[in-house]
Amino acid sequence: MSGLDQTHAPQGGIGQAAATASAGTTVRWRIFGIVFVLVVINLIDRTALSIAMPTIAKEFNLEPAMQGLILSAFFWSYAALQIPGGWLIDKFGPRALITGATIGWGIFQTIAGLCTGGVTLLLSRIGLGAAEAPLFPAGAKLNSIWLSPRERGRGAVLMDSGAPLGAAFGGVIIAWLILAFGSWRTAFIVAGVATILLGYLAWWYLRDAPAEHPGVDARELALIEASAASAASAEAAAPKQISPRSLSAILLGRMSWAMINFGLLTWGPSYLAQARGFDLKQMGGATFVIFLSGMFGSLLSGFLVDKLQEKGLRRSVTYKLALGFSGLGVMLSFLALPEVADPVMAVALLSVTLFLLYFGSLYWSLPAILAPREKVGIVGGAMNFAGSASGIAIPIITGLILQATGTYLMVLYFFAACAALYVVGTMLIDFQDAEAR
């Protein structure tokens, strides 16, 4: 391909470059396709232990308290390394960090299959959390490098929609591997080795700069460079800085969103079994449908906000409209759920809830939109730290509420309150400096 030898500098701004690139390559979208696959595998590997825990607990003679400790250990290192991981991404680039993370968590997933007791399994989970920590902030960095401002909504949701899909398929795939091999150990090792191989795929295809990618032709590069030049000019005239108010609002919104997301991931199956009377097969099918709905909501939100911006609607309006609508819808769903008696209708309502909740995937475009390019990684890491801290806290909070009340009613109301805070955080984000970019 001779595209990289041609002149790339656009003469007529983004509009002309967009027209020129209309028939160009689409490497940038293939990159986010690979990131999507990595996120799916990330969630499958992350949830594998939950599926295998009944078998492992029996083999290792683990008490319930130790089981809870092992299940939560992932988030200790995952949360602690978000901000340092973001700093490393800004310093060394997303390609190296994504590759290292993928190979690293594949190794720890494999090690888990070789563990001989609760302590070694706990240590493997700490390692898994540490290795997985850079993936999402690195995806946000790629968003800032490869995509124009009007493509970043789609880029963010293509990445994050892999999470609910991985949650939906993870239980099915890991359970199938355990049954097929007759061993949870072999299932973990197979999953780990497959992840390591994907790490090599990431290194082979990802690049930290579009001009370095051999698959990018002159037309696609012109589009990307025109966008980067326009953003650089705007930043030179008025240097981009994320305000303390916006950063605090993002952290509040993401933390509140994650309370709901991780609450449903950890306690959702128990709610279906205890409050709705589902057996194991029904619970698995319902969980699949519910989280698959989240993937569709995630994808719709990104294409929606990008399309509205193409129509001329301001970025602040599109984001706050989409995220505000989703948050209010989630809040109303949790308030209505106790009034729904039919189990099938309850699953339908929870599916709608996840569909709307995963509009929150748009948050992964905010570091690229609001922060200077050299700080996108660390802002993304701070945002994911807020969400990960919720992953540590919400299982405990939910358990305490259940222990105190004996029912899921107050849990659902607590999730409704989290949805309200998610809306408040979103509305406080200041898009003013980003409107012209």
Q: How confident is the model at residue 201 (pLDDT cuts 50, 70, 90)?
A: very high
Spatial contact of 355 and 296, defined as CB atoms under 8 Å apart: yes
DSSP 119: H
Q: Which helix (H) or strand (E) holds 117?
A: none
Count of domains for the chain? 1
State yes or no: pLDDT of 14 exceeds 60: no
State yes or no: pLDDT of 174 exceeds 90: no
CATH, residue 365: 1.20.1250.20
State the Cα–Cα distance between residues 266 and 71, nearest whole angstrom. 10
Residue 165 forms part of a structural domain: yes
State yes or no: pLDDT of 297 exceeds 80: yes
The answer for residues whose C-beta is within 8 angstroms of residue 321's C-beta and 6 or more apart is 308
Residue 11 forms part of a structural domain: no
Which pLDDT tens digit goes with each residue over 34-69? 999 999 999 888 888 877 887 888 899 988 668 777
Identify the residue with better confidence: 272 or 358.
Answer: 358
DSSP 11: S
Helix 244-274, helix 376-405: angle, nearest 10: 40
Q: How confident is the model at residue 9 (pLDDT cuts 50, 70, 90)?
A: very low
Question: Residue 75 corresponds to which tokens in the numbers above?
Answer: 């988030």
Residue 300 forms part of a structural domain: yes
What is the reported pTM? 0.76
Which pLDDT tens digit goes with each residue over 380-432? 889 989 998 888 888 778 878 888 888 889 999 999 999 999 999 999 998 87
Residue 220 forms part of a structural domain: yes
Which pLDDT tens digit goes with each residue over 79-134? 899 889 889 999 999 999 999 999 999 999 999 999 999 999 999 999 999 999 99
State the Cα–Cα distance between residues 423 and 257, nearest whole angstrom. 9
Residue 7 forms part of a structural domain: no
Identify the residue with better confidence: 147 or 11.
Answer: 147
DSSP 341: -
Residue 3 forms part of a structural domain: no
From the number of C-beta atoms within 10 Å of its C-beta (0-12, 13-18, 19+), residue 58 rates as exposed
* pLDDT of the residue at 348: 96
Question: Residue 376 corresponds to which tokens in the numbers above?
Answer: 């996108």
The answer for residues whose C-beta is within 8 angstroms of residue 359's C-beta and 6 or more apart is 297, 298, 300, 301, 322, 323, 325, 326
Residue 2 forms part of a structural domain: no
Which pLDDT tens digit goes with each residue over 206-247? 999 999 999 999 998 988 888 767 666 655 555 567 888 899
The pLDDT > 70 percentage for the chain reads: 90
State the Cα–Cα distance between residues 376 and 89, nearest whole angstrom. 9
Residue 125 forms part of a structural domain: yes
- The domain of 205 spans 18-434
Classify 402 as helix, strand or coil: helix
Q: How confident is the model at residue 341 (pLDDT cuts 50, 70, 90)?
A: very high
